[in-house]
A and B are shown apart, each in its own frame.
Chain A
Amino acid sequence: MKRNRLVVASVASTITLAMALTACSSGSDAPADDESTSADGTPEPADITLWLAGPDTPDALRDYLTSTFEEENPGSTLTIEQQEWPDLVTSLTTALPDAENTPDVTEIGNTQSPTFTTVGAFRDLTPLYEELGGDALLPSFVEVGMAEGKNYSLPYYFGSRYMFYRKDIWTAAGLEAPTTLSEFSDAVKELHTDSQSGFAIGGQDWRNGISWVFANDGELAVEEDGKWTSTLSDANTIKGLEQWQDVFEGASNVPASAMDVAYWDFLNDGTDGEAPEAATIMAPNWARWSIGDLTTNDDGEEVRDGMVDDSKYDIFGLPGVDGGLAPVFAGGSNIGISAQSQHPELAENLLRIIFSEEYQTMLGENGLGPANSDYVSSLGDDKFAQTMIDTAAVSQLTPAAPGWAAVEGASLYEQLFQAIAEGGDVTEIAAEYDEKITPMLNNG
């Protein structure tokens, strides 16, 4: 018995020590890097790595990139690795400074770009700018990728978001697609019941919610003399936030803590033909393919028909305060070359393929807005393409402050919008978050 206890005691103290020591390493031990990507040190022909974010780029386009790259650069290969959006900034923070493990080319969310361009994480693309499209490239995305007058990241694709609605439900209630923002609010509040959201939106869902701020000419943050200030307490911003609060409280059954909900499911009929959970949603343009009646595709799988029945499903762009369109948050990505890339020439060759007419057209055909405006017509000319182009034309970006990614990383906007959705006093909440956000915006 005694010996047992002795063993037990020493095991315990050793384990405690090990645990105690590892307790602290959870914060800084970077996610394991992919060893498979290192380039073996071979000089010219090499394997380069491209990071794409999320499943947004379809497989056909990925295959096109790898085969074309390998064709045009004999002996070299392209490895495409998919990173997930929520972890992208983290992965880039740890991988980009590391020459051994950095992706050579990476996609990055347009609003995340300033965080990295301001610390010199990307290679200067100014010499390539004209060749890759020059002034034809989407200006707001080009601008967000610039630092000190140089191009560090360029647009990859743009997306947009608009309203999808159940036309049958709206029509039955005697309502039509609204032409002003207040008409929209009134309509969705009228359609709201205990079991059906007039407009389904989660409380934390700020990427949709900031449209109400933009619609009222509000700003999230402004730069003056090189110093950023959070301007949530601005009269126009407050007005927008209060309107959003009113719509959320009056029209949505979704919890105040919810975000990134698959809203498109809410528009479809229930499995046994029950009424849909929402009459209206706001979503990126590709949500269309998750909405509609059930049908069978060529492979015999059950899929949504993409809103074929236009007396039942329809779309409109979020209307502005005085008519027209409200600016929405511009979805989309930039793309850049890591400053630590060991094969910058090959990486530049890959960019040439991405910005080629053929690839840009393929983006458009797959519903992703091409970076080069000369090829926007590839999106098509149906109402989906038209609404996407129209809403994208008036869309806005989040502030291009160096610390913006930190604000997103700390989930401050999720918390801000949840607090508003829970019915708090908007002026007080805005002041509270201004105080938190301003010091973070200027930290590179």
Chain B
Amino acid sequence: MSATSTVASDPAADAPDRRREQPPRRRRRPRLPYALLVPAVAVILVAVGYPVYWQVVTSLQEFGLAQQFGAPPTFVGLDNYARLFMDPSLWAVVVRSLLFCLVNAGLTVGIGVALALLMNAVGRVPRLVLQVALLLAWAMPMVAAVTVFKWLFDWRSGVVNWLLVAIGLDQYQGYSWLAQPMTFFLVASLVVVWMSVPFVALSVFAALTQVSDEVLEAAAIDGAGPWQRFWGIILPMVRPVISIVLLLQIIWDLRVFAQIRILQDAGAPIDQTNLLGNYIYELGLGRQDFAGASAVSIFVLLLTVLLSWPYVRSLLKEDEA
């Protein structure tokens, strides 16, 4: 194993460390929690450790189709990394992916919180309707959902173009939404946000139910308006949940792959719409440059750790407090 896995395992390693620094009066160091961790760690090592190991090794070799079919790979050091990072097209993909990920994660959490507040505010029946609707969207298989969106925005027979033309916007007759990167990502964002809002909304709603009415009542009596109650009381109380769902969204949205690929299959400028996952897929399985794909994958791993690090840190800090 290597530097990468060390970096990656830091957050986990940190957690017990910090706990150990807590006041010693508590108790002697118990063994049971560590024993309970063993199965989880074993699963991660077997299921993830080996692929990561393979990937690190491969990223340092020349590994193409010939090697896949048995030719011995040659060690090339950091050549793959150098080659890829000199290539401006990789950086274009990185910037595009980060923007897509942050915008979508932000949108998802924003809309999710708004829906959660709505659910908290309305009566039983509308709340149930909302919850069922959210659960259905959440339960829909991703491939099916993306296919439906693809059909909605189809240039020939899509209902979106039909509606726009019906209200008098004739320029949308035969308009191809997926042909330009901007409108392509608009459609992609719609799918991604639509599919992930339910998780955020339901999680935040669950947290909202834990905010005690007495506190809110007391605040209201003291003269706090709805906004003040939201910013000053509700938000701080559900902040841990929001932090986690935001963190998860960022990680998930950095890894979108199938959504983009299915939309690309409908006809799109591929090099201008590739995100990191698609770029790696194209490099590895399309161009059979397994070494290059591994190198980019390692980079994405580091990027993910980097992106989520501030959140993990703040969570750990809260933990200490």
Contact = CB atoms under 8 A, between A and B. Distances in A.
Interface of A: 4-6, 8-29, 86, 89-90, 93, 96-97, 115, 119-121, 202, 204, 253, 255-261, 277, 405-406, 409-411, 414-415, 418, 440, 443-444
B52 A410 contact: no
In the A-B complex, list the 6 residue pairs whose CB atoms are closest, starting with the nearest. Answer: A409-B286, A255-B176, A27-B280, A257-B179, A24-B297, A258-B267
Secondary structure of the B contact surface, majority rule: helix
B155 A255 contact: yes
B251 A19 contact: yes
B174 interface: yes
B300 interface: yes
B241 interface: yes
Contact of B254 (A5, A13, A23, A261): A23
A8 B244 contact: yes
Interface stretch (B107-115, B221-229, B304-312): B304-312
A410 B274 CA distance: 11
Given A24-B52, A26-B277, A418-B269, A16 B65 contact: no
A224 to B, nearest CB: 22
A21 to B, nearest CB: 4
B268 A23 contact: no
Given A16-B308, A23-B255, A93 B51 contact: no
Contact of A93 (B58, B252, B288, B304): B288
A4 B52 CA distance: 33
B9 interface: yes
B15 interface: yes
A409 B277 CA distance: 15
B155 A93 contact: no
Contacts, number: 186
B205 to A, nearest CB: 16
Contacts of B283: 27
A395 B301 CA distance: 47
B209 interface: no
A410 B265 contact: no
A123 B315 CA distance: 58
A13 B66 CA distance: 40
B74 interface: no
Nearest to A119: B69
Contacts of B178: 257
B300 A23 contact: yes
A256 B268 CA distance: 9
Contacts of B241: 8
B213 interface: no
A20 B52 CA distance: 11
A440 B292 CA distance: 14
Contact of B316 (A13, A18, A405, A444): A13
A427 to B, nearest CB: 20
A90 B281 CA distance: 10
A17 to B, nearest CB: 5
Contact of B315 (A8, A21, A86, A90): A8
A86 B264 CA distance: 12
13 contacts: A5-B318, A9-B316, A13-B11, A13-B14, A16-B305, A17-B9, A21-B5, A26-B257, A26-B280, A27-B284, A120-B69, A409-B286, A414-B270
Q: Which of B14, B251, B257, B316 has the most CB of A within 10 A?
A: B251
